[in-house]
Amino acid sequence: MLRGASVLCGAVWHSNMPVLATLIEGGADINFVSTVDLTPQCLGMLTGATPLFSIAVRRRQEDADMIRFLIEQGADGKNRCDVNGTLMTALQFARAADLESASGGSFTFEVLRELCCAMCGDTKKHCHLKRCDRCPENDRYTARYCSQECQVADWFSRHLFDHRARRRARRTQ
């Protein structure tokens, strides 16, 4: 149960695509921000949760079509949600969850990384995202960017460390 969530977030949380589509067709704000109590899921309060962020929290394989639908309808991946004091985009949250997952692999992360800029989360330019040239083409952590500015900013804040970790991992194999 989602306490405090918008009806759109509720439709996403319960994988109800017909209700989601009807709400959006009826004019519901696809980027409506709500505060969601996810204490039972050990996440605490999420301040600034959008429907796209709700999908990142769920991390279910059947959400791929819903993610694509939300982005086609104008969901803004730049919206940041406060997760226990840390502001994150849906992609950043999905990536962090993927790295922490013992089972390894978050399908939600894989879909979002194809459609969102790794730095700012922009979804509006997803058909023009450019891949980091240093990343292997089919690596699950390959970064994609909407602009050179985002690539440079991400390089010095996070992505350089990803490359160093990959290099260390290859040496130990």
Residue ranges of domains in the chain, CATH in brackets: 1-116 (1.25.40.20), 127-173 (no CATH)
- Tell me: pLDDT of 154 over 70: yes
Helices marked H in the chain: 7-13, 17-25, 51-58, 64-72, 90-100, 107-115, 148-154, 160-172
Written as six digits, the tokens of 90 are 């849906």
Q: What is the pLDDT of residues 25-80, one digit of tens each?
A: 999 888 888 776 655 454 555 667 788 888 887 767 778 888 889 888 888 888 88
Q: In whole angstroms, what is the distance from residue 143 CA to residue 137 CA?
A: 10
DSSP three-state, residue 151: helix
- Does 149 have pLDDT greater than 90? yes
Q: Residue 20 to residues 1, 16, 48, 91: CA-CA distances in angstroms?
A: 17, 6, 19, 21
Which of 160, 29, 55, 31 shows the shortest CA–CA distance to 112? Answer: 55
**Residue 82 near residue 107, CB atoms below 8 Å:** no
Q: Residue 19 corresponds to which amino acid?
A: V
Residue type for 156, please? F
Structure tokens that stand for 124 in this block: 């509006």
pLDDT of 148 above 70: yes
